[in-house]
Amino acid sequence: MKKLTEKTCIYLAKLAMLGGLLLLSACSLGSGGKAAGGSLLPSPPGAESARQDRVHRLSESYEIEDLRRIPQRLDWLAAAAADRLVLSDPCRDRLLDEFQRRFFAPWEAGANGFDPEETRQFMVQQGRATWYGANKRVISPEEMQEIMSNCDIQGFPSRNDTAIAVAPGHLRGLPTRQPFFESAGDFPFDMLSFPHVKLNEPLRVLHTSRDGGWLFVQTGYTTGWLERRDVALVDQAFIECWKLAPHLVVVRDNEPVPDGRGVGVFPAKIGTVLPLSRDGGDDWQVRVASAGEGGRAESRTAVIPRAAAAPFPLAFNAENIARVGDQLLGEPYGWGEAYGLRDCSALLRDFFLPFGIWLPRTSADQVASVPDRIDLARLKPAEKEETILDREFPSCRCFTSRVTSCCMSGVMRKGGLWCSTTPGRSA
């Protein structure tokens, strides 16, 4: 093979893991829904032909053959890959450097790449569109006007402050909890549902809503509106202390993390990064940020079980792949991470976070991050398989257990994520 540049090494390492760990290539909702272009609801009596009715009944109970014949676990596949999972030290270091640079980017001056005019125009367009609410009725002009007024677009952006998430939160396209659907029957595809923000995630505050209840923030991967109660400001001393500390990463999904005040707990998803305060032997003492006087962050100590977290980053090996990935298999699909669930790109991103590997937030951006891509869209299935094997993509060389099989893929269905060799569509 030709000698790889540093940049190519990073992205080929990502590509190897994307293809091999069953988690990228397809995302659908089984018989219908947004990703599959159909409807999850049965047709009204008499509205469909007998053939269509039979297809619907079949789709509700049909099981993909691969789901029956392939063990729905990652351990057996990762174990078969063995030494081919190992990343070289230089590649490992470059991946970790990239992660840290992007993760902490909101705390770095001039590193945001934020376009105020583009964001303003997006919000204006959202305000002009016709939307349906949770009651399946068109959102009234009066309500839209109230929401748009709360954006205070004329003064946008009005701030530039470093901050931190003091609770898991959910970014929104506009400062409202109200879901926005494109049609009356478009549930659950809330078009204002932006990514989930993890506990202790670095942020930059760029604007405040007119009523003061929402902040427009920037994360390391996107922007959006976050409820003010979930955010606290940080100064340079806090930032330096937080960055220089050794870190743990949550490896048990939705692990309850105490707030440090003795009041409540937060469910921390896999990939949540926590500064380590002390190794307690049977447990970990970690730092959690909480809002103090004047809305400024205070560092508090919390104790979590030893099995719930591990030193960051995890070694990329068969044991840890199964440790993290098996928890994600079969998880229900959640559009825009609604209801604390994951969509395709969020699942993939959360899988790689514990290993210190940074991926963009959306599927399109994840695919675009890989250079020298080959378009397989116009090829027949057999041609796709031949092309993949012929080009010796790292994903196949690392994870194909026999020459005649194609790269494994993850299929996100109505019931969750499953292991499959069946090619699918990305979403």
Mean pLDDT score across all residues of the chain: 80
- What percent of the chain clears pLDDT 90, i.e. is strictly above it? 57
**Could you tell me the pTM of the whole model?**
0.79
269-285 per-position pLDDT tens digit: 999 999 999 998 899 99
Please, is 135 exposed, middle or buried when counting C-beta atoms within 10 Å of its C-beta (0-12, 13-18, 19+)? Answer: exposed
| Phi–psi pair at 110, nearest 5 degrees | 75, 10
Q: Is the pLDDT of residue 382 over 50?
A: yes
pLDDT at 377: 84
pLDDT at 59: 57
Can you say whether residue 273 is alpha, beta or left, with left for phi > 0 and alpha for psi between -120 and 50 degrees? beta
At 265, is the pLDDT very low, low, confident or very high (cuts 50, 70, 90)?
very high
pLDDT at 418: 37
Mean pLDDT of 10-25: 43
Which residues are bridge partners to 132 per DSSP?
138, 181
Mean pLDDT of 356-380: 84
At 392, is the pLDDT very low, low, confident or very high (cuts 50, 70, 90)?
low
pLDDT at 373: 77
Q: What angle do CA 272, 274, 278 make, to 5 degrees?
A: 145
In terms of DSSP H, where are the helices of 306-380? 318-325, 344-352, 363-368
Q: What angle do CA 93, 97, 103 make, to 5 degrees?
A: 140
50-96 per-position pLDDT tens digit: 444 444 454 556 677 877 788 778 888 888 777 777 888 898 999 99
Q: Is the pLDDT of residue 318 over 50?
A: yes
Tally of residues, the chain: 427
106-156 per-position pLDDT tens digit: 999 876 678 899 999 999 999 999 999 999 999 999 999 999 999 999 999
pLDDT at 407: 29
Distance CA 356, CA 93 (A): 10
At 190, is the pLDDT very low, low, confident or very high (cuts 50, 70, 90)?
very high
* Tokens representing residue 137 in the block: 């009725």
Q: Is the pLDDT of residue 237 over 50?
A: yes
Which residues are bridge partners to 342 per DSSP?
333
Q: Which of 362-366, 377-381, 400-404 has the lowest mean pLDDT?
A: 400-404
Q: Is the pLDDT of residue 196 over 60?
A: yes
Q: Is the pLDDT of residue 10 over 50?
A: no
